[in-house]
Amino acid sequence: MSQHPQTQAIRIQTERTGEKEHSTPLFLTSSFVYDSAQDMAAAFTEESPDVNIYSRFSNPTVDEFIQKIAVLEGTEDGVATGTGMAAVFSTFMTFLSKGDHVLSASAVFGSTHTILTKYLPKWGIESTYFNMNEPEKIEGLFQPNTKLLYVETPSNPGLDIIDLELLSSLCKPRGVLLVVDNCFATPMVQKPILFGADLIIHSATKFIDGQGRVLGGVIVGPKALIHPLYLFVRNTGPSLSPFNAWVLTKSLETLAIRMERHAESALRLAKHLEDHPKLSRVRYPFLPSHPQYAIAKKQMSNGGAIVTFELKGGLESGRKFLNALKMLSMTNNLGDSRSIASHPASTTHSKLSPEEKAAVGITDGLVRISVGLEHISDIIADIEQALDNC
């Protein structure tokens, strides 16, 4: 019987132990025992591929989390990592070699930008950026050695949206892997596999956890692509801890209702602020004023939980706004049950040059709001009073 994603996130569960526990069990162990020397030898020669050996390789709690994400994203398999950036780096290291070329959206998270521009060149791997707002120019940027195209949609922090079907149509004939960071949307809002993506990456630290408690990352996709990723993580060690996996798999049980509430409140906030006299721009994927509104409506079931706006007063107004907040948290995380305000130009994207910031729409007055689960009237009231004082 086919089940809805909301049901699968709750009912997919590791096989119960002899105690017949109802809730997901936690396998907090570094290694596993065998019934015989022959069984142990078979496990290491992969004659028994489903046998757990060591928690850096596999663990029932981690496997449950992976299975849930893979099902929710509509694909076959996955591998979990200790952080979202470990997932990004592991993907690059698995599928790229000396002499290869990466085509990436310029609007990517600051640490991803650092990997692309500082670390990959040390191994002879080149990259080229494309502007998500100029999709017609992307085809001309492919090179004979292009092996992977990387994109966040919606992007962080500018909330740019790109047509994944277009990217897939460019990648598939060239044998280029299309890798999509789906962190801002989650599988409850957007399923990139349906639009031709090959691999999906999540920083599970964000909305998947949803309460700012643990770090985690995950990559999902077809078994043929996940197996080499699994071997990389197994051998190099950026594995997800069983405890964090247990927290994350429990969080998935409420992901659908949380994302609905986040998005409902975010849309109300965006509409409320759109004509505010102290703001020059408000951006949210499901506002008709968003330049890629039609694409967002095609690819996403709602607009997600992030709202950005531009303060007319620039850097000084941005500082005054943040300092005037009374309820919203000032932190560099997002995807929490608590609403968060951040200033990308001086935090997450501070290492970008002024030209690089401008290229991805990050200005001194840009503020990113991760809309939490508080009552929307309280969220709006705090932002309004802060705007009055900046």
3-state secondary structure of 54: strand
Q: Do 50 and 19 share a domain, yes or no?
A: yes
Q: Do 150 and 31 share a domain, yes or no?
A: yes
pLDDT of residue 52: 86
Q: Do 306 and 340 share a domain, yes or no?
A: yes
Q: Do 304 and 280 share a domain, yes or no?
A: yes
Q: Do 202 and 128 share a domain, yes or no?
A: yes
Q: Do 249 and 297 share a domain, yes or no?
A: no
Q: Tell me the mean pLDDT in the region 267-295.
A: 97
Nearest to 206, CA basis, from 338, 303, 295: 338
Nearest to 362, CA basis, from 137, 129, 116, 107: 107
pLDDT tens digits for range 112-151: 999 999 999 999 999 999 999 999 999 999 999 999 999 9
With 0-12 / 13-18 / 19 or more C-beta atoms within 10 angstroms meaning exposed / middle / buried, residue 144 is exposed
pLDDT tens digits for range 218-229: 999 999 999 999
Residue with tokens 């909305």: 207
E strand spans, 20-139: 77-81, 101-105, 126-130
- The backbone region for 20, taken as left when phi is positive above 0, alpha when psi lies in -120 to 50, beta otherwise, is left
**CATH number, residue 196:** 3.40.640.10
**CATH number, residue 285:** 3.90.1150.10
Last residue of a domain, one of 254, 270, 290: 254
pTM: 0.94
β-strand partners of 178: 149
Q: Which two tokens stand for residue 225?
A: 């692509």
pLDDT of residue 313: 85
Q: Do 100 and 141 share a domain, yes or no?
A: yes
Q: Do 262 and 377 share a domain, yes or no?
A: yes
pLDDT confidence band for 384 (50 / 70 / 90): very high
Q: Do 260 and 242 share a domain, yes or no?
A: no
pLDDT of residue 307: 98
pLDDT of residue 27: 92
Q: Is the pLDDT of residue 1 over 70?
A: no
Q: Which two tokens stand for residue 38?
A: 């022959």
Beta-carbon-side half-sphere exposure of residue 86 (alpha carbons within 13 Å): 21
Cis peptide leading into 154, omega within 30 of 0? Answer: yes
Q: Do 238 and 288 share a domain, yes or no?
A: no
Q: Which two tokens stand for residue 329?
A: 């948290």
Q: Is the pLDDT of residue 316 over 90?
A: no
Last residue of a domain, one of 199, 219, 254: 254
Q: Do 39 and 103 share a domain, yes or no?
A: yes
The answer to whether the beta carbons of residues 356 and 344 sit under 8 Å apart is no
pLDDT of residue 110: 84
Q: Do 236 and 340 share a domain, yes or no?
A: no
pLDDT of residue 355: 78
pLDDT tens digits for range 185-235: 999 999 999 999 999 999 999 999 999 999 999 999 999 999 999 999 999
Q: How many domains does the chain have?
A: 2
- Listed in sequence order, the residues at least 6 apart from 118 whose beta carbon sits closer than 8 Å to its beta carbon are none
Range of the domain at 209: 5-254
Last residue of a domain, one of 188, 222, 254: 254
Least trusted range by pLDDT, from 161-165, 176-180, 185-189, 331-335: 331-335
